[in-house]
């Protein structure tokens, strides 16, 4: 695997007595990474530290090997699209982009061509270019925010909840843009509180809850890591009725369904942590011949919902 582009070591961030991030260790590698967690999980705090807007309370965070706070060499390589919808209401998109571009070190002469290409790339209709940003809809705001993040050709693009408020077509547009950017070799971190939004887009996922990293890595690794949390199992064995009786007597199940023809027992677990401690022993003691065990919670989203609620 490539070297990490972001590395957090024992990273914590407090807001007074409220903990935003709690002593987390993680690495983010090149590619598209989904940052997922419910509201208040610490996603925006982490993103603000990565983009140099906040400092860690303790621990360290390195982006491209450097601390991002007050570090132009790191910020030069980052494009940031915040969650907030606020834009300078009185400015037109071209003025805003050229102002921000000049701040980023892009020569004035690069505009308006660069602005036009950016707005075309994010699919903002030409009819809206003369309007002030205050007149923009949510979807148009997301597009122009993305344009400003792409302006200085960053190596790492960070998008905080970019799908918020978008209609399905807008979501598809943004997803397509992100895929084409990834195709060009730009690393992307995209946060969302809805995992399903990211599942088709991201190679890697980091799940946060209550300021801690619950799981991190490639999607399938996470799925197998978290499959221990599955609450519904399906077991094919030589005597599914006997297995059902054992589980029922041991007070392990909430309900079950026997498929005689397939020699299969589907059951819902009552207390997963207690059940999985005893599961191997139960099978050994039963003397059953087991052909297959599978989790019914195959969707990453289902697992995410379980571990974050």
Partner 1 sequence: MNHESTLETTLDKPSIHPNFFGILAGIWKLTWKSQLTWKKVYGLLSNVLVLPLLSYFAFSSSAPMAQIGGQSNTFYMFTVDFYILLVLPITCLTVFGGMVRDDLQEDTVCFLLTRPMKRWQFFLTKYLSHLAWTQITTALTLLAFALAGTLRGVDDVPNLIFTLLIIQIPAVVVYGAISSLMGLTTKKYLVFGIIYGFVVEFGIGQIPTNINTLAMTNHLKSLLAKYPPLSEHLGVEPGSSLTAVTAIAAVTIVFLVISSVLFTMREYNHSDEMSK
Report the interface residues with partner 1, using CB under 8 A: 48, 51-55, 70, 72-73, 75-76, 78, 80, 82, 84, 86-91, 95-96, 98-108, 110, 114, 117-118, 120-121, 123, 148, 150-153, 172-173, 176-177, 179-180, 184
How far apart are the C-alpha atoms of 207 and 69, rounded to whole Å?
A: 24
Residues 96, 67, 155, 215, CA torsion sign: negative
CB-CB contact of 51 with 78 (8 Å): yes
Q: For partner 1, which is the closer residue by CB, 132 or 264?
A: 132
Q: For partner 1, which is the closer residue by CB, 95 or 225?
A: 95
Q: For partner 1, which is the closer residue by CB, 106 or 218?
A: 106
DSSP single-letter state for residue 294: E
Task: Give least dist CB 218 to partner 1, A.
Answer: 24
Reading the block at residue 221, the tokens are 């690794």
CB-CB contact of 257 with 266 (8 Å): yes
Task: Give least dist CB 106 to partner 1, A.
Answer: 5
Task: Give least dist CB 7 to partner 1, A.
Answer: 20
Q: For partner 1, which is the closer residue by CB, 55 or 277?
A: 55
Q: For partner 1, which is the closer residue by CB, 178 or 214?
A: 178
Place of tokens 């400092």: 55
Q: If you compute the radius of gyration of the chain from its CA atoms, what whole number of angstroms results?
A: 24
Task: Give least dist CB 98 to partner 1, A.
Answer: 7
Task: Give least dist CB 5 to partner 1, A.
Answer: 16
Q: How many CB atoms lie within 10 A of CB 128?
A: 17
DSSP single-letter state for residue 250: T
């Amino acid at each position: 695997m490539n070297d990490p582009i972001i590395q957090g070591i024992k990273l914590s961030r407090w807001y007074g007595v409220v903990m935003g991030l709690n002593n987390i260790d993680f690495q983010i590698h090149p590619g598209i990474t989904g940052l997922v967690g419910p509201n208040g999980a610490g996603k925006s705090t982490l993103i603000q530290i990565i983009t140099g807007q906040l400092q860690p309370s303790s621990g360290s965070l390195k982006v491209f090997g450097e601390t991002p706070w007050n570090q132009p060499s790191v910020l030069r390589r980052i494009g940031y699209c915040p969650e907030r919808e606020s834009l300078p209401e009185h400015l037109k998109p071209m003025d805003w982009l050229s102002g921000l571009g000049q701040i980023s070190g892009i020569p004035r002469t690069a505009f308006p061509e660069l602005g036009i290409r950016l707005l075309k790339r994010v699919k903002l209709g030409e009819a809206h270019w003369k309007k002030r940003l205050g007149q923009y809809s949510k979807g148009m705001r997301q597009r122009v925010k993305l344009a400003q993040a792409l302006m200085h050709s960053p190596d790492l693009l960070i998008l905080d909840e970019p799908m918020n408020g978008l209609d399905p077509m807008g979501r598809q547009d943004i997803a397509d843009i992100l895929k084409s950017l990834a195709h060009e070799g730009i690393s992307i971190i995209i946060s969302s509180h809805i995992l399903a939004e990211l599942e088709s887009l991201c190679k890697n996922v980091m799940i946060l809850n209550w300021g801690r990293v619950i799981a991190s890595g490639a999607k399938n690794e996470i799925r197998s890591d978290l499959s221990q949390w599955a609450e519904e199992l399906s077991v094919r064995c030589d005597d599914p009725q006997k297995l059902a009786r054992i589980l029922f007597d041991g007070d392990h199940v909430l309900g079950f369904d026997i498929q005689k023809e397939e020699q299969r027992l589907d059951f819902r677990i009552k207390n997963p942590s207690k059940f999985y401690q005893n599961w191997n022993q139960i099978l050994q003691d039963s003397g059953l011949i087991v052909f297959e065990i599978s989790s019914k919670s195959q969707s990453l989203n289902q697992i995410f919902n379980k571990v974050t609620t």
